[in-house]
Chain A
């Protein structure tokens, strides 16, 4: 008690707090992360994007594929005919509508609400991001873990495989795969799963390299000798004792990976080999820009989806960058 008083008179309340409370490494990381304004901005962006994409559709009566028609200035949709028939003469698709109260961002050239399509596009992008990064991590951690732990011939074999996958150019392979799918008539709804699978298979090499490198240095340390001495099963040694030590780097690589996977998916969709029509995706919504009239006159059609991609990827990069700084023990702050 006396000691505390002395410190308090020294006017250093922070030090008192440190003496009273033991700060765990996790709390330290948290504290460093929360001090980073850009990282907080990233978290805010991501939360907003998640709410927008996953909860947004609940607040609208329009569906992803709802097409709007117009007759004599009266609008009706393919979901709610309002007693009118879309086949009737004089009925037109309400395409490329300017932003209005009914359609805050207008409609696209097929007469679908852009704001609603943005929400569904976000769902797809985020979902693909999670699944693909999950796949990459799973394969990468297992392969990298095995290579780093066993070393020798196994390590050599796996690492050459990593080299091969590292050298395969992704975009050409995606184009080839997409033309194979078209040729074999793969149904549209399965294409997205194959897309995720291929993206996962092509992207695990980086994760495997990282995990292997870390494990090579970790396995020489005393605590690993101890696990060997008490006779733990290798699988348990890898999963329980080695992987948790690689966790910080994995979290960073996964966050940054989310950004790059979303970006890659958007490019594939832009090229028409990603998320298949009629599913909405930000990439294929930007693709409408190839029509010069839309590029010039209808910014509301192609700008918002592009901006959404930018914001989401930026959010993941901010958070990933902040996490890397927060996890780095050399960063004093």
Chain B
């Protein structure tokens, strides 16, 4: 097991190297660098000023040299200054990822509470009206474009009914503190959390359903029924526990993703999470932050797959990782 994890981590380093090289190369081929973006707004910026800024931000080196530089300082834990925040990129990520996390966590919990029971019910009543309804709802959730659903919610619940605020994280000019502040934020998070939840329920629900169906077709379920157990016991004691194996694996793999931020949803609701900041950084050519951000996302993806593989072995005693 330990050997397996070490080997996977070793491979992960190579994957991260590959990802960073591709992203850095792409970023540097874009001539729309940060220096020309900021100096565009200043009519009397002299070429000397520009050159100085370019040097300051390390854009004067070639792509390969720049990448090696970036890599060596990244290995020392320095991901460079974010141009637009004037702060080390990793500090910006550390700040903002918690906003994204607090938005993603409630939606994640809701998702578990709704999707898994629905998946189980829909599997036990396969091809019934309940199954069709649940499946339809799940697939609609998967098929909804986030920006469209967000707009519909905004139009209905904040413009139409006035129940929730349209955008933002806190009410402007109301300096709530303590509990009131938290409630104010929660109030602002209702719509974005709804969007995230509805969009992600379908995947987990379908997954639970498929796995439950597989378990229900297994021989030991027939045995359980044959020895006269009640249907309730068969499903919740024998079938459900075995369905939990793949579910735990998948859910565990989703946890790192809670920090990644939702670019489009955060953008629409003006929530200053990682996704929103990332989108802004991308638009203004903030290379150090972009690099840090994409690497962060890549690490989260890798962690997710690693975690789900490890959980697979932990939960299911039959699995031995080599």
A residues with CB within 8 A of B: 37-38, 160-161, 163-164, 166-169, 171-173, 175-177, 179-180, 182-184, 259, 263, 266-267, 270-271, 283, 286-287, 289, 292, 295-296, 299, 302-303, 306-307, 309-310, 313-314, 317-318, 321, 330, 333
Contact = CB atoms under 8 A, between A and B. Distances in A.
Given A306-B145, A330-B214, A183 B294 contact: no
B139 A314 contact: yes
B18 A160 contact: yes
Query: Which 5 residue pairs of A and B lie closest in terms of their CB atoms, listed nearest first?
Result: A306-B148, A313-B143, A164-B18, A314-B143, A167-B298
Given A176-B290, A286-B151, A310-B140, A164 B15 contact: yes
Contacts of B22: 164, 168
B31 A321 contact: no
Given A164-B22, A289-B151, A318-B139, A270 B145 contact: yes
Given A172-B290, A306-B152, A160 B132 contact: no
A310 B149 CA distance: 10
Contacts of B313: none
Contacts of A299: 155
A318 B151 CA distance: 24
Interface of B: 11, 14-16, 18-19, 22-23, 26-27, 29-32, 127, 132, 135-136, 139-140, 142-148, 151-152, 154-155, 159, 166, 206, 214, 217, 263-264, 278-279, 282-283, 285, 290, 293-294, 297-298, 301-302
A167 B148 contact: no
A160 B11 contact: yes
Contacts, number: 133
A160 B15 contact: yes
B132 A38 contact: yes
A176 B282 contact: yes
30 contacts: A160-B11, A160-B14, A166-B301, A167-B16, A168-B22, A168-B298, A169-B298, A169-B301, A172-B282, A176-B30, A176-B282, A176-B290, A177-B26, A179-B30, A180-B31, A180-B32, A267-B145, A267-B147, A271-B264, A283-B147, A289-B147, A289-B151, A306-B147, A306-B152, A310-B144, A310-B145, A310-B148, A314-B143, A318-B139, A321-B135
A83 B30 CA distance: 49
B30 to A, nearest CB: 5
Contact of B147 (A169, A175, A286, A303): A286
A169 B257 CA distance: 12
Most B CB within 10 A of own CB, among A167, A292, A303: A167
A176 B26 contact: yes
